[in-house]
Amino acid sequence: MNRAFLSLGSNIGDRLLNIQHAVSMLAISDKISVIKCSSFYETEPWGVKNQNWFLNAAIAIDTVFSPIELLNTTQSIEHQMGRNRNNEQRWHERIIDIDILMFNDDIISIADKLVIPHPYMHKRAFVLVPMLEVKPDLIHPLYKKTITELYDELENPEDVFLYGTVLPK
């Protein structure tokens, strides 16, 4: 059995429903068990600022899938939910985004297909804040630091608010 950590985000339509639907689609697989889900967070866009804010969450799963099989499954769910990777620009709005953050403590690089750990996770508050709930003591296999340590070292974190709180104007 493999333990993986995923980040989910949406900034189009009913963002909460989109993430809940994606988690449900993962959970109905007999090859995936959702172990833990973070709260939902309202997050400032990263990379491209002029777009709707995202809703983000992180989950821990157990799976018998290989990393590539898990990637194919997450991309299939994205496609079923209406995401078209061929017609979107990098870091722009999307109905659903499911990223594999970590898979066991494996280090994987398959040219332009899959990089684990996720190459930007250590730079993104919208990934690290939900992961603080899911597994704060998880050790990044490249940096040899916990999620808590990575979060504490962020230099200019984007805004992240617990969903349902009043956002500053």
Cα–Cα separations (whole angstroms), residue 103 to 38, 72, 119: 18, 14, 13
CA dihedral 71, 76, 79, 85 (to 10 degrees): 30
Structure tokens at 34: 């959702």
The residues carrying an active-site annotation are 83, 94, 97, 99
Nearest-angstrom CA–CA distance, 72 and 69: 5
Cα–Cα separations (whole angstroms), residue 56 to 8, 33, 69, 149: 6, 20, 23, 20
Query: DSSP letter at 142?
Result: T
Give the number of other CB atoms < 10 A from CB of residue 141.
Answer: 14
Nearest-angstrom CA–CA distance, 75 and 86: 12
